[in-house]
Amino acid sequence: MESVNGSAKFTPKATRVLLDDACHLVGLDSGEAELVRLGENAIYRLSSMPLVVRIARSVRMLDDVCKEMRVARWLASENYPAARMASDLHDGDTPLLVGSHPVTFWHFVESNDEPPPGPADLGGLLRRLHELPVPDWLALPVFQPFARVESRLNCPPEEATSGELEFLWNRFKQLQEALASLEFQFPLGPVHGDAHPKNLLRRTIGDVVLLDFEAFCWGPREWDLSLMAGYRYGFEWLGEREYLDFVSAYGHDISQWDGFRVLSAIRELGMTTWLMQLAGHDLSRRDEFHRRVNDLRTGMYPRRWRPF
C-alpha cells in the first residue's frame, strides 16, 4: 500500500485492496465494485450482490463500528426505517478485521430518490428516533463531540500549517469550556449525531430510511437539531422554507435557543478537522481546508464552505 510517514494512506487505491481482501474472506465477489464515498469510511457498493461494504479508516474506530452494529440491530427490532446489516456475514455485533481496518456489510437500499428526501423527512424521522425507548444492552456511548477532533489534531497532515494547528487547538479548548457551561432544554436521549438529508434515502417503495450510525450516542437531543439550523444560518445551504419544514416536522426550532451558536461552532470545528485529514488527497480538499480555517479566524458569515 501507499504510505506516508510509515503508515498506510486511506486512499481509493489502498481501500480497494482492503475491499478485495474482506470480500474474499466472506466469499463475496468484489469485481467491479463502486467506491461510493471516502471519508471516515470507504464505502463500496458491490455489483455482484445488493450489498454495501463499509471499511473504517482505523482500528481506533472499532468501538464505534461495534456500536453501529448494535444500533442497526436495535432499530431493526423497533421496525424503525433505517439501513439494515447483512447479519449473516458477521459474528454477532463484531466487524470483520482486515489488517487494522474494521469492515461491515450492509444491505443495499434500492432507491430512486424521487422526490429526494428533504428537511421535513429528516425532522419526522428524528422526532420518531428521539422518542424510542433505549434498551440497556444497546450501551450507547456518552456524547463526546470533541473525541475525533482531538485525535485528528494529534495526527495532522503535512498540509496543515503550524499556525492553523495552533488556532484550531485554541478554538478546541475555548469550545470545550463553552460546552461545559450550557444548560440544555431537553432530557438526554438517543442521538443520531450526523442528522442531515444526505444521510437519508428514499426507497423505491416510497418511504425514507436513515443511514450512518457511527456518531450515535446518548446525549443532548439539541445536537441533532443543531446541524440543520447551522445549514440555514451558518452556511445558507438551506432556504428559509426548507428550514421551517424541518422545524414543523420535528416540532421545535433550536435556533431560538442561546446555546445553538455554541453547538454550531463545535460542528464547524468538527467539519474543518474532518476535511483536514483529507487535505492531502487533492488540491480541492486542501484549498477548502485552508478556506475553512481562515473563515473561522475572521468570523466570516455566512461561511463560504463547499460541502463534501
pLDDT of residue 301: 85
> Which domains, from first to last, does the chain contain?
3-107 (3.30.200.20), 119-298 (3.90.1200.10)
Intra-chain end-to-end CA distance of the chain, in Å = 25
pLDDT of residue 40: 84
Whether the CB-CB separation of 22 and 43 falls below 8 Å is answered with no
Tens digits of residue pLDDT in 146-171: 988 999 999 999 999 999 999 999 99
Mean pLDDT is highest, among 8-22, 104-118, 159-173, for: 159-173
Does 8 have pLDDT greater than 60? no
Sign of the C-alpha dihedral computed for residues 158, 146, 148 and 294 taken in this order:
negative
Position 6 pLDDT exceeds 60: no
Q: Phi/psi of residue 233, each to 5°? A: -100, -20
Q: Render pLDDT for 33-68 as a digit per residue (tens, 0 to 9).
A: 999 999 889 999 999 999 999 999 999 999 999 999
Whole-model pTM: value is: 0.89
CB-based contacts of 133, cutoff 8 Å, min separation 6: none
Q: How is residue 57 written as a grid cell?
A: 479508516
Structure confidence at residue 5 (pLDDT) = 30
Bridge partners of 42, per DSSP, are 38, 55
Which whole number is the average pLDDT over 189-209?
A: 94
Q: For residue 40, what are the CA distances in angstroms to 157, 182, 275, 277, 284?
A: 15, 29, 10, 9, 18
Element (H, E) at 201: strand 200-202
Task: Report pLDDT for 258.
Answer: 93
The 10s digit of each residue's pLDDT in 200-248 is: 999 998 899 999 998 999 999 999 999 999 999 999 999 999 999 999 9
pLDDT at 3: 32
CA proximity to 17, closest of 62, 7, 9: 9
Q: Answer with the residue of higher pLDDT: 51 or 2.
A: 51
Mean pLDDT over all residues of the chain? 94
* CB of 168 closer than 8 Å to CB of 223: no
